[in-house]
Amino acid sequence: MILDAHGHIGSWPDFLIPDPSAGGLVAMMDRLGITAMGVSDLLGVGPDAVEGNRRAFEAAAEHPGRFGVWQVYNPHHRTPLTDRPGVWGVKLHPDVHQCRLDDPLYEPVFALGLPVLAHGQTDSPWSDPAQFATVAARHPEVPLLMGHTGLWPYGFARAARLVADHPGVLLEVCGSKITGRWISRLVALAGAERVVYGSDACFLDLRAGLGRVVLAPLAETDRDLVLGGNLARVLGSRLA
Amino acid sequence: MVDAHRLVGPVPFDDLPADPRPDMDRLGIEAACVTHTLCLYADPAAGNEALSALDDPRLIPVPVVVPGVPGAGVPAVLDEVLDWDVRLVRLCPERHRFELTGPVALRWLAAMAARDLPVAIDLEETSPAALRTLAAEIPDLRVLLLNPGYRRLRAVAELMATVPNLWLEIGTVNTQRGVEWLAERYGADRLVFGTGAPVLDDCGPRFLLDHLELGAAEVELIASGALRRLM
């Protein structure tokens, strides 16, 4: 079972996404054998989390079982959140929202206890991996996925070190700068049970993201954990 | 299958394989256009010399050219470039701090175009505006644009639309269905498989190539046919 931890639907202002559709994602997931993907709508990451979350739930309803919803929480707007069926958790984007991951404004999210997927970016004032360690120490019971594992290759090993003693933090590996080799290194550094596949599609191409894991130099048992086993463990009954 | 964009040699900022062939074997890549890392991170002349010593038909040498006034260029004089037995050369105007559309570079590149020698340039080493100027000055010069990325897809598409002698390496065309979008508009015969490995990822682009939603003939063009025609 392949589970994609980090997906999006919708367009984004910074650049052209030729196919931002949910239907396009599902068609490609079918071809690639991806069971399900956790998505947030990019409008929700941007200025309108309420409408973006509505769109994400709508896409999930149109494609039953194929999309879990990462509800976007905008700390400035105090976005309403739910734990209804189909929810995988909460998506935080400290950089877009310009609110540090360790800011108290996020405490209502962590208090819910839902899994959290947060953008992580080495040396960012908003989402440096050190902030994941801070938050994980406050809320060890909350599964916390570090999106992009810090994004920049020079920070991957540091990111793994910073959260080594926080088993609730998983390293999610999507991003345009990561390589199959680095995914293999992260498995060696952090353990296969701490690394989670994500693609960032439709922001990025689903095939490139999956290919980095499928073709990475990994033992097959480790690859299975990265591709879906670890996320299934975190999500538990939410996958049903 | 030929990777149009690969490095051989060590890099100073990471522990990466200096020899690309084991990864090429693992990923089923038969040959690769390679530039020596010494060309990028040390001395271009030393890198070109190391490249010429490789002597492996799987590794297609792509030496670096630095156009310059006497005493500033690599190689020392333009005639050496024209005597090289190579099928593609690489330019790094940003790294080597020369003007891609300055009078010296234009003279060198015009001579290379006359010899039917194409050039590869990383988009991060130049700009769309400079590439358009270059194409206007030397319309016969064939250019392989390396590492175009995905965030500048609109600008890259404009280049493809306005510069007929521009080919595009797809390794970092990394937004959803971006390669198909380009192929539909500008033709698969102008798209080239490449990776930028080992600094950039080779696993994702290799997998993408196997799963493109294009016809077999178009995929074959991207895998190697377009590059063979370019070179």
CATH homologous superfamily of A2-239 equals Metal-dependent hydrolases (3.20.20.140)
Nearest residue to B183 via CA among A18, A9, A30, A8: A18
| Residue B189, domain CATH | 3.20.20.140
Q: Do B203 and A211 touch (CB under 8 A)?
A: yes
Read off the pLDDT of residues A186-207 as tens digits, 9 standing for 90 and up: 999 999 999 999 999 999 999 9
Total domains, chain B: 1
Q: Which domain holds residue B143?
A: 2-230
Q: How far is CA B221 from CA B190, B193, B215, B225, in A?
A: 8, 9, 10, 4
ipTM, two decimals:
0.97
Pairing, β A144-150 against β B31-36: unpaired
Q: pLDDT (tens digit, 9 = 90+) per residue, A36-95?
A: 999 999 999 999 999 999 999 999 999 999 999 999 999 999 999 999 999 999 999 999
* Interchain CB distance below 8 Å, A179 and B201: yes
CA atoms of B164 and B71, how far apart (whole Å): 34
Facing A31 at nearest CB: one of B172, B202, B211: B211
Task: Identify all chain B residues contacting A22, using CB atoms and an 8 Å cutoff.
Answer: none
Separation between Cα atoms, residue B214 and residue B225, nearest integer Å: 15
- Provide CB contacts within 8 A for A102, sequence distance 6+: A131, A134, A135
A169: left (phi over 0), alpha (psi -120 to 50) or beta: beta
Reading the block at residue A177, the tokens are 């700068």
Whose tokens are 């990466």? That residue is B16
pLDDT on residue B42: 97
pLDDT score for B156? 98
Q: Which amino acid is at A51?
A: E
Residue B12 CB coordination number (10 Å): 8
* Residue among A4, A207, A210, A213 with most chain B CBs within 10 A, to mutate: A207
What is the pLDDT confidence band of residue A132, given thresholds at 50, 70 and 90? Answer: very high
Cβ within 8 Å, pair B205-A217: no
Q: What is the mean pLDDT of chain A?
A: 98
CB contact under 8 A, A211 and B208: yes
Q: Give the 3-state secondary structure percentages of chain B, helix then strand then coil, rounded to 5.
A: 40, 15, 40
Position A116 scores a pLDDT of: 98
Strand order in the sheet with A67-72: A2-9, A34-41, A67-72, A87-92, A116-121, A144-150, A169-172, A195-196
| Tokens 């509505």 -> residue | A54
